[in-house]
Amino acid sequence: MTEIIIIAALDENHVIGNKKTLPWHIPEDFRHFQEATKGHAVIMGRTTFESLGKPLSNRLNIVLTRNQISQLNQEGVIALQNLSEAIEVAKQKGYQRIFLIGGASIYLEGFAVADKMVLSHIPGIHEGDTFFPQWNANEWIVTNEEQREGFTIKTYERKRHERAIAPLSISSSISSSFSISSSFFSLPLQQADPALYQRITEERYRQQTTLNLIPSENYVSKAVLEATGSVLNNKYSEGYPGKRYYQGNECIDAVEQLAIDRAKTLFHVNHANVQPYSGSPANQAVYYALLQPGDKIMGMHLFYGGHLTHGWKVNFSGKFYTNVGYTTEQNGFLDYDKVEELAEKERPKIIVCGGTGYPRLYDFKRLGQIAKNVGAYFLADIAHEAGLIAANVVPSPAGHADVITTTTHKTLRGPRGAMIMCNGEPSTPMKELPAGADPRKHIPTLIDRAVFPGLQGGPHNHTTAGIAAALHEAMQPSFKPYCEQIITNAKTLAATLMDHGVSLVSGGTDKHLLLADLTNKGVGLGKEAAIALERAGLIVNANTIPYDPSTPFKPSGIRLGTPAMTTRGLKEEEMKQIGEWIASILNAMDDWPLQASIKTKVHNLCAAFPVYSTVYSVQ
Rounded CA-CA distance 47/65 in Å is 9
Q: What is the mean pLDDT of residues 61-82?
A: 75
The reported pLDDT for the residue numbered 615 is 38
Quick check: 390 and 266 in contact, CB under 8 A? Answer: yes
What is the band of 102 on the pLDDT scale with cuts at 50, 70, 90?
confident
Domains of the chain (ranges, CATH numbers): 3-158 (3.40.430.10), 272-459 (3.40.640.10), 479-608 (3.90.1150.10)
Distance CA 72, CA 43 (A): 13
pLDDT of 619 above 80: no
- Judge whether 286 and 405 are in contact, CB under 8 Å: yes
Task: Compute φ and ψ for 112, nearest 5 degrees.
Answer: -75, -20
Comparing C-alpha atoms, which of 56, 57, 47, 54 is closest to residue 23?
47
94 Cβ partners below 8 Å, 6+ apart?
none
pLDDT score for 23:
53
| CA 298 – CA 22 distance, rounded (Å) | 60
DSSP string, 495-530: HHHHHTT-EEGGGS-SSSEEEEE-TTT-TT-HHHHH
Instruction: Give the pLDDT band of residue 68 (cuts 50, 70, 90).
Output: low
Share of the chain above pLDDT 90, in %: 72
What integer pLDDT is reported at residue 67 of this predicted model? 62
Cβ count within 10 A of residue 57: 9
Distance CA 475, CA 266 (A): 7
pLDDT for the residue 366: 98
**Which residues does 193 contact at the CB level (< 8 Å), separation at least 6?**
none
Q: pTM for this one?
A: 0.75
CB 559 within 8 A of CB 494: no
Instruction: Please give the Cα distance from 579 to 562 (Å, whole number).
Output: 12
Helix (H) or strand (E) holding 147: strand 140-148
Region at 265 (left for phi over 0; alpha for psi -120 to 50; beta for the rest): alpha
The sheet with strand 403-407 has its strands ordered as 271-273, 418-422, 403-407, 377-381, 350-353, 296-300, 322-326
CB atoms within 10 A of CB 397: 26
Residue 69 has pLDDT above 60, yes or no: no
Q: What is the mean pLDDT of the chain?
A: 90
Q: Which residues of 144-174 are buried (b: 16+ CB within 10 A; e: fewer)?
A: eeeeeeebebebbbeeeeeeeeeeeeeeeee
What is the rounded CA–CA span in Å between residue 214 and residue 306? 16
Q: Which of 244, 262, 410, 491 is catalytic?
A: 410
Least trusted range by pLDDT, from 1-10, 249-258, 328-337: 1-10
Residue 344: partners with Cβ closer than 8 Å, 6 or more residues away: 373, 374
One of 256, 381, 517, 528 is an active-site residue; which one?
381
Q: What's residue 21's pLDDT?
A: 55
123 cis-preceded (ω within 30 degrees of 0): no
Indicate if 381 belongs to the active site: yes
What span, in angstroms and rounded, lies between the C-alpha atoms of 213 and 558? Answer: 10
Among 115, 238, 425, 591, the one annotated catalytic? 238
Q: What is the DSSP string of 148-201?
A: ETTEEEEEEEE--PPPP-----S-HHHHHHHHHHHHHHH--HHHH-HHHHHHHH
Please provide residue 157's backbone torsions phi and psi, each rounded to the nearest 5 degrees. Answer: -120, 145
Q: What is the pLDDT of residue 509?
A: 98
**3-state DSSP call for residue 421?**
strand
* Residue 407 appears among annotated catalytic residues: yes
Centre a 10 Å sphere on the Cβ of residue 294 and count the other Cβ atoms it contains: 9
Say which of 236, 245, 277, 547 is annotated catalytic: 236
Q: Determine the distance from the C-alpha atom of residue 329 to the mean position of all C-alpha atoms in its chain, rounded to a whole number.
A: 32
22 burial type by CB count under 10 A (0-12 exposed, 13-18 middle, 19+ buried): middle
How many CB atoms are located within 10 Å of the residue 97 CB?
Answer: 17
Given phi > 0 = left and psi -120 to 50 = alpha, else beta, which region is 330?
alpha
Q: Which residue of the set 97, 296, 366, 416 is catalytic? A: 416
Between 165 and 244, the higher pLDDT residue: 244
pLDDT of residue 139: 82
- Among 122, 124, 159, residue whose Cα is nearest residue 140: 159
Least confident of 427-436, 440-449, 583-592, 609-618: 609-618
Q: Which band of pLDDT confidence, cut at 50, 70 and 90, is reported for residue 315?
A: very high
% of residues, the chain, pLDDT over 70: 91
In this prediction, residue 170 carries a pLDDT of 42
pLDDT digits (tens, 9 = 90+) for 126-177: 666 677 787 777 788 999 999 988 889 999 998 864 333 444 444 444 444 4
For the beta carbon of residue 107, count every other beta carbon within 10 angstroms.
25
Q: Nearest-CA neighbor of 618 among 333, 175, 232? A: 232
- Work out the widest C-alpha separation in the chain, in whole angstroms: 90
Look up 410 and say whether it is catalytic. yes
Q: Is residue 136 a contact partner of residue 615, using CB atoms and an 8 Å limit? A: yes
236 counts as catalytic: yes
Q: Considering 37, 130, 309, 407, which one is annotated as catalytic? A: 407
Helix (H, G, I), strand (E, B) or coil at 209: helix
Instruction: Report pLDDT digits (tens) over 437-476.
Output: 999 999 999 999 999 999 999 999 999 999 999 999 999 9
Instruction: Specify the 3-state DSSP secondary structure of 222.
Output: helix
Give the residue from 413, 396, 369, 376 showing the smallest Cα distance to 561. 413
Per-residue model confidence (pLDDT) at position 172: 44
End-to-end CA distance of the chain: 31
